[in-house]
Amino acid sequence: MKLVRITLALIMAMTAMQALPYDARQCQGSLGPYMAPDSLVAAPDSLTPVFVNHLGRHGSRYPASSYSATTLRRELSRADSLGTITPLGLQFAAMLDDVISRSNGRWGALDSIGMAEHRGIARRLARQYPELVHNSAAAASATYSPRAIMSMYSFLHELAQCDRTITLSTTSGPVNSMVLYPFDIDEHYKAYSRLKPWREAYGHWVDSVAPMTVRRLLGDGYQITDSAARQLSIIEYYNLANMEAMGMPNDYMPYMSLDEYNRLWSCFNLRQYFQHTANAFSEVPAQMFAGLVQDLVAAADDALSTTNRNGKRPTLQLRFAHAEVLMPVLSLLQVPGCHLVTTDWNAVRDCWHDFHIVPMAANIQWIYYRAPSGTVYVRMDLNERPTPIIPGRDDIYVPWSEVRRHMLHCIEQ
């Protein structure tokens, strides 16, 4: 722990004031809508697709809870009553009133954008791999979250629209928690979540990097500590970054510069990194999902060894969950760009990006192909874009025997 603190202090002293390089869409982070690829990458003609393992995040939604909107709105109301609120603060308050009005009764619910995101992913899958949809079977599962369940049904509805010969089966709810959402079950993670060993490192980063943009809303005469102002500015960021996903304009420019937007994003990004990936303090956030990785391997083994089940070939295994599920799975599997263990928090800002890994409707697809020789190869797509599977290797199509060995090695460490 001392080494972490010393390293942290040196890093902050040298680099805290560096400008950050990401554009406004990227600064929405994991709160931004899904960006579908312009085109899909076709596999070599010699490879025949035989199975897809799919793990997806729910699509765009209304804010997950009322906390961020009502917390900042309450502070702005107080500033208004004290006579310190600025015209910009009144403008932001009106925007929050609109958010609250639109979201009442819908907090956390999948919206029409999220439904369309999943329909699009399903449609592209059906067009890319028609032989896996026609006269075939798809088994889908979701967590107990209504937005995950609705994402699943939006996806399946589109598959059925594309090809009505497909047979669909679903499960959802707590029955899937052991594999898809073990946060309330895993005692090691519950302890990690309670103790927050990363709290001091995160606090140092926020104190060194986060601008106090909320002061422009509250006014110069408003009494608030610098620490509280930074935390409220992160809440201000959250409200702005989530706008587009709920169908509202994402116009940050009246309230902060792009550099400030970057800095606040880096705080939100770092917190997610600490909470949901293997890091210098603990591997527990990633290791908690060893059961899901084992389930992915077992599903592939079963599909590849089964030629017929009730007259339908099992070709699609679909799972619908959350950002906090995809992040640890990708970290556990050490997928390049998704796994980083370091005490250099600038490296997290530069190399681990929630906007790349888990935008709304994020998805991982393991596509299995059989070669004429009988060898099964796997390609992994992150958000429908091929990505290397094994650290230190650039090949996109890897024999299943090697991928399987790597996946099992990751959960046995």
Q: CATH code at 327? A: 3.40.50.1240
Tokens encoding 192:
């990690």
- Flag whether 233 is in a domain: no
Record the pTM.
0.93
Half-sphere exposure of 24 (CA within 13 A, CB side): 13
Residue 262 lies in a domain: no
Domain interval for residue 145: 25-62+110-197+278-412
Q: How many domains does the chain have?
A: 1
Residue 223 tokens, joined? 């009494």
Is the distance from CB of 56 to CB of 362 less than 8 angstroms? yes
The predicted structure's pLDDT at residue 2: 43
Asked, for residue 74, whether it belongs to a domain, the answer is no
- Token representation of residue 177: 């928690």
What confidence score (pLDDT) does residue 13 get? 35
207 lies in a domain? no
341-352: average pLDDT: 98
Task: Quickly count: other Cβ atoms within 10 Å of residue 352's Cβ.
Answer: 23
**Domain contains 13:** no
Q: pLDDT value at position 307? A: 59
In a domain, 337, yes or no: yes
Rg (CA), the chain: 22
- Is 39 a domain residue? yes
Q: What is the pLDDT of residue 314?
A: 79
Q: What are phi and psi of 365, to 5 degrees?
A: -125, 125
Per residue in 270-326, pLDDT (tens digit) is 999 999 999 999 999 999 999 999 999 999 999 998 654 554 567 999 999 999 999
CA distance 75 to 296: 46
Query: Which is more confident, 20 or 8?
Result: 20
The answer to the question of residue 103 being in a domain is no
